[in-house]
Structures are given as structure tokens and as C-alpha cells.
Chain A
């Protein structure tokens, strides 16, 4: 089955740039999406179609994708950005089944 691979954890100091990667064989042909999930809350979409930002998401969140790797970048990370981040995409089957990465715990301190 198709898998997306993320690092388990990333740690930065406030104001630094955090980068979270997501690798998957189908990413050259499929969009990547990113979700933020704070403790005890439902996920929130922060990036869609590789690099687009939904309304209400701060500009410090950006996304990119090249080859088999997608990257979520948080420029000038804030303490409130501390959360679990999940990448998401679809597999190469004709049914476009969804797949989540394992998640990355971002620590900002």
C-alpha cells in the first residue's frame, strides 16, 4: 500500500524557520496537503494543492513540492504553531484513495 513518510519530530526556537518534509513515490503526480492538529483538537487544513494557503492561515505557512518530496515551511515559527503536522495525498489507483503521513511533532521553544 502507498505510504507517505514524515520525520517524527522537528524542533526550532521561536522566530526560526521550521521545515517539515513528506516523501512519497506518487508526489510527482499528486498534490500534497498539510494539516495542523493541536492537542485535543480537530485537524485544520493549512496548505492545499502543494502550495496554496486557505483563507485565515497566516502567511508564515508555505508549501512546496519537488519530485517525491513535499515540504511545509513555517517562517518565523511562533509558540502557538507547536502542534502535530500531517501531510496527505492520494494514491495512484484510479480511486484516489487518501493517505496520511505518520505525522510530525513540531516543538517551538
Chain B
């Protein structure tokens, strides 16, 4: 059974940084493409970015609103996905979901972790 557990959310001031983690189990993490998707309170889903498996190049892609501020990385030895968020803005306030991707989309989702950016 695929399990994804996000952690690291919390309250941070504008301009601050935060790192989210996503612990994965139930599948071969090193072969998986992984994604981050966020959802602002009361709003729709927004794709944040993805990282391919190392065998597929390990490259990352980002949505325009976060490119240059957010970095997705992975530690295959720990079956863990990360999202480093810098220069945070109030509009980054959202529930952040990690997702297991068998392709260009998300097959399975974690339960999410809330990030609140406020002074």
C-alpha cells in the first residue's frame, strides 16, 4: 500500500524559509517520480513541481510562481522527498501535498501539511 506522510509545515513570517518532508513507503521510491501540489485555503489545487527518478535524470520542473524560490530534492536512501521553500510570501499559504507519480500526473497523494505565511 502506497503511503505518503508529509511533515514540516507551520507558521513562518514573510521572507522566511521552511523545509517540508514527505516520507514514502509501499513502493520503490528510487524509481518514482514525485510531485508537490498545494491548495490555498478555500481554493483549488495548484501544481508546484516535480522531480524525476535518478534513472530518468533526476531533473526538476517548477510552476512559475515558485520557480527560483522553491527547490525539490530527494534522498532515495531515506525514501524521502523534500520541498525547500525560501523567500516565502503570504500567497504561499496553503496545504502542501506530496504525490507519487507514475508519469506526468499524481497517482497517490499524502494527507498534506499546512504552511501559513503571516507576520
A residues near B, CB below 8 A? 1, 31, 33, 35, 37, 42-45, 48, 54, 84, 86, 88, 90, 95-103
Contact = CB atoms under 8 A, between A and B. Distances in A.
Given A42-B111, A43-B45, A48-B105, A97 B61 contact: yes
Contacts of B50: 98
Main secondary structure of the interface of A (DSSP, over half): strand
Interface in B83-109: 97, 104-109
B105 A42 contact: no
Nearest to B60: A95
Given A1-B64, A95-B61, A98-B105, A42 B44 contact: no
Contacts, number: 58
A100 B44 contact: yes
A97 B105 contact: no
Nearest to A93: B61
B65 to A, nearest CB: 9
A101 B43 CA distance: 11
Nearest to B110: A42
A98 B47 CA distance: 6
Interface of B: 35, 37, 44-47, 50, 61-64, 97, 104-112
A48 B64 CA distance: 25
A87 to B, nearest CB: 10
Nearest to B101: A98
Nearest to B62: A97
A35 B110 contact: no
Contacts of B109: 42-44
Given A86-B45, A98-B50, A103-B44, A45 B63 contact: no
Residue of B64, B106, B110, B111 with highest tally of chain A CB at under 10 A: B106
